[in-house]
């Protein structure tokens, strides 16, 4: 996939550079190492691990990219290829009289460079010139890349197909009984196709994959998301189908964020990467398992690698880079060189310990070695060579004639499916209300969450609710006992008692919110709450209006009090409450609240909640309460300085302030907190606003009635009033 994309990009590039006549389309890449020979073998390695600058965005002509970060391990692979070719050239029993040459390209681990290298290998350097391209009628040969795998049987591998590795990894995971795993992969062919096979095999093995996420090493933001997914997931086993480069960045982030405690399952690309295991990353990597490519010993290789010296090939830019990086010294005398220390020339690779010199565990290296030998043996057969006598055929051999050898696996996937000896527990998704148990081998009922009477939060709320109820009843008793005293009589006792009654209901209605939601409790909850609160606010509103009217009544020539006597007060309260009753009836008949099992929020829990049915109904009920309380607040605010009995308007203003504050803070909390906390928040708001009303409106009066009875007289009341009138 990547290859094709890159080729398309090259197409776009040639269009933007279009001009009349034929032009040089770009400079060809030169091999980093080459040697003339009768038959040339091509090699593509990422001798550098990074490209400087940005990856192409394919919107402008690509700027040339620098290659950075000498990769010692890849250089060892390239050197192994050279070693194998030299060895074969030295031998008389393989390809006698034929010299093999090589062209080794550096891909810098970049897709663009890889494609350019592949093209350069297939087309000779001259063909990149447009004049020859233009004069040719034959299509450029690189088009073959599109169908490389189908058309050309000369695409072999010395490493087992990832198809088998993926399936083996699935069995390995199964073997340890890990049936719940997470997966992360490199976003390239290696990771994507490897993971696709793994997922398929894992499904057959009864392994459930919680998430499968990918990133490319050039995408740090994606990597952060991947890390986040892993951290938030519940799987403790992570299958990492990553190339060594992605693994490096992945590990770096895990180390940085101190994310440990995961069992890593790795691919051959990194599982033996000893350089990854630093003391800090060991906490993450320790205990990782996976399959490694078979190790081997290649005699003479170590000596060959160590023999290399920059002085033997001073023109080679890569070798210079390698040398300077390895010895941290500068070969050039210019000031802008990376290292200040000049190289002495007496450096020797034998003193160094790095991935280039370390051949104690060679695996992939052996595959490079084997592939050169496989090719050589194949050529040997094709050319009908016999030891010491030379080859019978001439060297005009086409690449496709190089046939596979027994030791090499074809890249073609076999259609054979592998059957396994074992009790496969199929991966059955649990029903919605179920969730897998700890061992992930059975479905168990999800835990159900709702605010119950048994839990601490429920008990506390019930206590507060009952406390509020008792307190209200107590206030009512006090008022009843002193119903003939001026303070009770003066402040329209009828409304006071009605208010106390509705407050009692308010406290009690919070109880309907606790307990397992049922059809009835859901319908009762919001409607009971809506109606009692409106009753409550209407009473307060009535009181406020009375204060306003009473003041006007004292003014000469006004008889407004006639217009708002007790019958009108009753009617107002009744009318306001009826509107809410009407809203509730509409809501209940059109789309009533119903008990609902919310499984969206948690994977392993079911939230039992009351779905409001019609959101419009719910917000209409709340909105109406809001409207009334706002009205009440505004009127009380206007009346707060008017002379009335015992500063009632002032206390009402204050209580409405509390009321509005509580419900305004309720809205965001209600919308954002899930499950039983939503309910708790709602109950809390109900209790808080009820207590607010009770304390602000009734406590000051009870104080006077019980503790300052001398103030509870007609005289002091009037005095108080006239004093205020004078003041204002």
Residues at the site binding ligand NAG, with contacts judged by CB under 6 A: 83, 86-87, 90, 258, 260, 300, 304, 412, 415
Nearer to ligand NAG by C-beta: 87 or 268? 87
Residue 197 C-beta: closest distance to ligand NAG, Å: 14
Q: Kindly tell me the sign of the dihedral angle through the C-alpha atoms of 128, 129, 133, 138.
A: negative
Q: How far is the CB of 402 from ligand NAG (least distance, A)?
A: 21
What's the CA gap between 261 and 240, in Å, rounded?
A: 15
SS3 410: strand
Nearer to ligand NAG, 304 or 637 (CB): 304
Provide, rounded to whole angstroms, the least separation between the CB of residue 303 and ligand NAG.
8
Minimum CB–partner distance for residue 35 and ligand NAG (Å): 12
* 93 burial via Cβ count (<10 Å: 0-12, 13-18, 19+): exposed
CB-nearer residue toward ligand NAG: 76 or 446: 76
Nearest residue to 425 via CA among 205, 223, 577:
205
Q: How far is CA 97 from CA 88, 444, 679, in A?
A: 11, 74, 89
Burial (CB count within 10 angstroms: exposed 0-12, middle 13-18, buried 19+), residue 561 = middle
Shortest CB 43 distance to ligand NAG, Å: 16
Distance of CA 343 to the CA centre of its chain: 48
Distance CA 610, CA 512 (A): 12
CB-nearer residue toward ligand NAG: 302 or 554: 302
Pick between residue 40 and residue 99 the one whose CB is nearest to ligand NAG.
Answer: 99
Query: Among 511, 678, 666, 667, which residue's Cα sits nearest to residue 609?
Result: 678
Sign of CA dihedral 645, 647, 653, 658: negative
Complex with ligand NAG: residue 308 or 488, whichever CB lies closer:
308
Q: How near is the Cβ of 64 to ligand NAG at its closest, in Å?
A: 35
Whole-number minimum distance, CB 312 to ligand NAG, in Å?
12
Min dist CB 88 to ligand NAG, Å, is: 9
Angle, alpha carbons 591-597-599 (nearest 5°): 125
Distance (Å, whole) CA 692 – CA 340: 76
Q: Which of residues 306 and 657 has its CB atom nearest to ligand NAG in the complex?
A: 306
User: Do residues 122 and 141 lie in contact, with contact meaning Cβ atoms separated by under 8 Å?
Assistant: yes
Q: Which is nearer to ligand NAG, 34 or 337 (CB)?
A: 34
Task: Give the tokens for residue 258.
Answer: 């101190």
Between the alpha carbon of residue 202 and those of residues 287, 319, 418, 630, 668, the distances in Å are 21, 45, 13, 61, 44
Of residues 57 and 90, the one with the C-beta less far from ligand NAG: 90
Residues 610, 606: Cα–Cα separation, whole Å: 13
Query: Least CB distance from residue 280 to ligand NAG, whole Å?
Result: 8
CB atoms within 10 A of CB 186: 25
Task: Kindly state the smallest distance separating residue 313's Cβ from ligand NAG, in Å.
Answer: 15
Q: In terms of CB distance, is 259 or 588 closer to ligand NAG? A: 259
Rg (CA), the chain: 42
- Non-local CB neighbours of 246 within 8 Å, separated by 6+ positions: 186, 191, 215, 216, 217
Which residue lies nearer to ligand NAG by CB, 92 or 558?
Answer: 92
Q: How far is the CB of 412 from ligand NAG (least distance, A)?
A: 6
- Strand 434-436 to 443-445 pairing: antiparallel
Measured from the CB atom, the residue of 55 and 86 that comes closer to ligand NAG is 86
Quote the least distance from Cβ 601 to ligand NAG, whole Å. Answer: 27
Closest CA to 237 of 198, 269, 275: 198
Distance CA 256, CA 253 (A): 5
Closest by CA position to 271, among listed 156, 169, 407, 161? 169
């Amino acid at each position: 996939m990547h290859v094709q994309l890159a080729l398309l990009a090259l197409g776009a590039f040639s269009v933007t550079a279009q001009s009349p006549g034929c032009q040089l389309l770009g400079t060809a890449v030169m091999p980093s190492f080459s040697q003339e020979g009768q038959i040339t073998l091509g090699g593509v390695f990422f001798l550098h691990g990074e490209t400087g600058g940005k990856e192409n965005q394919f919107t402008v002509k690509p700027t040339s990219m620098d290659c950075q970060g000498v990769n010692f391990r890849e250089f060892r692979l390239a050197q192994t290829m050279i070693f194998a070719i030299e060895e074969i050239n030295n031998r008389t029993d393989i390809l006698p009289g034929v010299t093999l040459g090589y062209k080794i390209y550096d891909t810098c681990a970049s897709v663009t460079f890889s494609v350019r290298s592949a093209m350069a290998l297939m087309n000779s350097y001259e063909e990149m010139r447009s004049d020859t391209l233009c004069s040719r009628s034959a299509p450029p040969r690189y088009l073959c890349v599109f169908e490389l795998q189908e058309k050309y049987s000369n695409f072999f591998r010395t490493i087992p197909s990832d198809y088998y590795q993926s399936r083996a990894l699935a069995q390995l995971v199964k073997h340890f009984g890990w049936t719940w795993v997470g997966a992360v992969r490199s976003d390239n062919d290696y990771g994507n196709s490897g993971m696709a096979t793994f997922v398929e095999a894992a499904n057959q093995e009864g392994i459930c994959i919680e998430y499968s996420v990918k990133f490319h090493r050039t995408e740090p933001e994606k990597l952060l998301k991947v890390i986040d997914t892993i951290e938030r997931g519940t799987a403790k086993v992570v299958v990492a189908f990553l190339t060594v480069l992605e693994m490096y960045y992945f590990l770096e982030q895990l180390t940085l964020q101190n994310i440990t405690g995961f069992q890593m399952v790795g691919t051959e690309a990194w599982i033996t990467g000893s350089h990854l295991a630093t003391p800090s990353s060991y906490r993450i990597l320790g205990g990782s398992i996976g399959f490694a490519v078979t190790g081997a010993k290649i005699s003479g290789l170590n000596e060959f690698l160590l023999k290399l010296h920059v002085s033997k090939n001073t023109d080679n830019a890569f070798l210079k880079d390698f040398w300077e990086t390895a010895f941290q010294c500068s070969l050039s005398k210019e000031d802008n060189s990376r290292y200040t220390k000049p190289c002495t020339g007496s450096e020797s690779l034998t003193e160094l310990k790095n991935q280039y010199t370390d051949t104690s565990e060679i695996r992939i290296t052996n595959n490079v070695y084997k592939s050169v030998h496989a090719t050589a043996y194949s050529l040997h057969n094709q050319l009908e060579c016999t030891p010491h006598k030379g080859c019978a055929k001439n060297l005009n051999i086409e690449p496709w004639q190089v046939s596979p050898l027994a030791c090499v696996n074809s890249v073609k996937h076999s259609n054979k499916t592998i059957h396994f000896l074992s009790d496969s527990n199929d991966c059955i998704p649990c029903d919605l209300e179920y969730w897998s148990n700890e061992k992930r081998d059975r479905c168990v009922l999800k835990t159900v969450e709702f605010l119950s009477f048994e839990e601490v939060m429920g008990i506390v709320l019930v206590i507060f609710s009952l406390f509020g109820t008792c307190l209200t009843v107590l206030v009512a008793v006090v008022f009843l006992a002193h119903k003939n005293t001026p303070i009770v009589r003066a402040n329209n006792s009828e409304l006071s008692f009605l208010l106390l009654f509705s407050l009692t209901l308010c406290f009690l209605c919070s109880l309907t919110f606790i307990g397992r939601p049922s059809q009835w409790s859901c319908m009762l909850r919001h409607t009971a709450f809506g109606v009692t609160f409106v009753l409550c606010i209407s009473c307060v509103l009535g009181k406020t209006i009375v204060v306003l009217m009473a003041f006007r009544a004292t003014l000469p020539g006004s008889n407004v009090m006639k217009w708002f006597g007790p019958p009108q007060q009753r009617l107002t309260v009744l009318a306001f409450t009826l509107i809410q009753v009407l809203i509730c009836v509409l809501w209940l008949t059109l789309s009533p609240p119903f008990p609902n099992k919310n499984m969206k929020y948690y994977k392993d829990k079911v939230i039992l909640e009351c779905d409001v049915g019609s959101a419009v109904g719910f917000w209409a009920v709340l909105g109406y309460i809001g409207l009334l309380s706002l009205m009440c607040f505004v009127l009380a605010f206007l009346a707060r300085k008017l002379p009335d009995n015992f500063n009632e308007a002032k206390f009402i203003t204050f209580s409405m302030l509390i009321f509005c504050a509580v419900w305004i803070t309720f809205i965001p909390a209600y919308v954002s907190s899930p499950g039983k906390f939503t309910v708790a928040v709602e109950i809390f708001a109900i209790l808080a606003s009820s207590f607010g009303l009770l304390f602000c409106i009734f406590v000051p009066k009870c104080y006077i009635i019980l503790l300052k009875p001398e103030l509870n007289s007609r005289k002091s009341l009037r005095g108080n009033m006239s004093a205020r009138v004078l003041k204002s």
